[in-house]
Amino acid sequence: MLIVMSAQATAEEIREVAARAESLGLQAHSIHGQQRLAIAVTGLREALNPMVFETLAGVIEVIPLTLPYTLVSREAKSEDSVVLIGGVPVGGPHFAVMAGPCAVESPEQIHAIAASVRRAGAHILRGGAFKPRTSPYSFQGLGREGLVALHDAGREWGLPVVTEALDERSLEVVCQYADMVQVGARSMHNYPLLKACGRAHLPVLLKRGMGSTVEELLLAAEYIVSEGNRSVVLCERGIRTFAEHTRFTLDLSAVVAVQRLSHLPIIVDPSHGTGKRHKVVPMARGAAAVGANGLLIEVHDDPGHALSDGQQAILPEELAELLAQLPAILPLTGKALAPHASIAATA
């Protein structure tokens, strides 16, 4: 339920609305618009009765939302949210590129790739230290050691870092070293992890489950935001279909659908979304053209020997070429490459 306050509402009137919600066991979340404040009230559906609030001073309208999610909806906030990741803005007019290997394999590997993705123009360094692998016999990641290497490489090259947490335990470690935590496609339905991310002080990159609808993705985001963390970036990474020419089917129309329904930024991962190197750059250009807020791309300097996902990693030179092409595409959707976090020491 959304309570729209009059532009002249006093602080006392706003407090009164929040207090009334809390006395009913509901949660009140302020949403600041350009003209006025709205209060999103969430909680058990049975307790959400608009009549209780309609007559309170300063209230001009109570909208009983028909959507199953509230805080992440466009109805609650019409302007695009911009999420800051270690100083890099993602969302609204800003288009940011997150790039790096699937997994951190060694300090030397991540330092070399950090240097090359920074030179190519990427904004954020990615690299998994806790890997959700399909087979238990595949490389599972370097854990804390990998996070230290990722963090050091990012700091050296002026790149904030994003990495996946698989569960609440790894989330604690990730929070010590990363600028953004990734919730992977397989974890989109891990509700305790989503709630823990909602209480964490890092922005969250939430990937769409490979068998999930857009509504389920937005409900997963609602879990995070309802716990207090508003810094959520969504990611379309492909869904399972009958197609055999591709590993997953990258659903670019989900970007358009999400932007209509939600104010949260959405980026696209054409690496997992296709599973094949030759499709990554064309689909990345497509993502920019449909209006995505950024890209998540796997890059490796020696894909033939990568410990995971080498078949879908592009070379640093290919990333540089893509970044050089983006300024021709982004103005079509009113976007531009985001500013970098800081000038890298040795770039």
Q: How far apart are CA 294 and CA 296, in angstroms?
A: 7
Which residue, 103 or 257, has its beta carbon nearer to Mn ion?
Answer: 103
Judge contact between 45 and 33, C-beta under 8 A.
Answer: no
**300 is an interface residue for ligand PEP by CB under 6 A:** no
Minimum distance from CB of 128 to ligand PEP (Å)? 5
Q: Which of 97, 165, 185, 202 binds ligand PEP (CB under 6 A)?
A: 185
Q: How far apart are CA 97 and CA 293, in angstroms?
A: 9
Q: Which stretch binds ligand PEP (CB under 6 A): 54-62, 184-192, 285-293, 315-323?
A: 184-192
C-alpha radius of gyration, the chain, whole number: 21
Nearest to 2 by CA among 60, 57, 55: 60
**205 is an interface residue for ligand PEP by CB under 6 A:** no
Residue 204 has phi, psi (to 5 degrees) of: -120, 135
**184 is an interface residue for ligand PEP by CB under 6 A:** yes
Binding mask 100-129 toward ligand PEP (x if CB under 6 A, else -) reads: --x-------------------------x-
Q: Which stretch binds ligand PEP (CB under 6 A): 22-30, 31-39, 180-188, 260-268?
A: 180-188
335 binds, among Mn ion, ligand PEP, none (CB under 5 to 8 A by kind): none
Q: Which of 132, 211, 228, 327 binds ligand PEP (CB under 6 A)?
A: 132
Q: Which stretch binds Mn ion (CB under 5 A): 93-101, 151-159, 228-236, 309-317?
A: 309-317
User: For residue 290, how many other CB atoms are within 10 A of its CB?
Assistant: 16
Which residue, 179 or 309, has its beta carbon nearer to Mn ion?
Answer: 309
Q: Which stretch binds Mn ion (CB under 5 A): 142-150, 214-222, 248-256, 307-315?
A: 307-315
Q: Which of 94, 272, 279, 300 binds ligand PEP (CB under 6 A)?
A: 272
Q: Which stretch binds ligand PEP (CB under 6 A): 71-79, 178-186, 192-200, 314-322?
A: 178-186
Geometric angle at alpha carbon 287, from 289 and 83, rounded to 5°: 105
71 binds, among ligand PEP, Mn ion, none (CB under 5 to 8 A by kind): none
**309 is an interface residue for Mn ion by CB under 5 A:** yes
Q: How far apart are CA 300 and CA 271, in angstroms?
A: 12
Q: Under rule CB under 5 A, how many of the chain's residues touch Mn ion?
A: 2
Sheet of 27-32, strand order? 27-32, 37-42, 2-5, 59-63
184 binds, among Mn ion, ligand PEP, none (CB under 5 to 8 A by kind): ligand PEP
**247 is an interface residue for ligand PEP by CB under 6 A:** no
- Contacts with Mn ion by CB under 5 A lie at 102, 309
The contact set with ligand PEP (CB under 6 A) reads 102, 128, 132, 184-186, 207, 237, 272
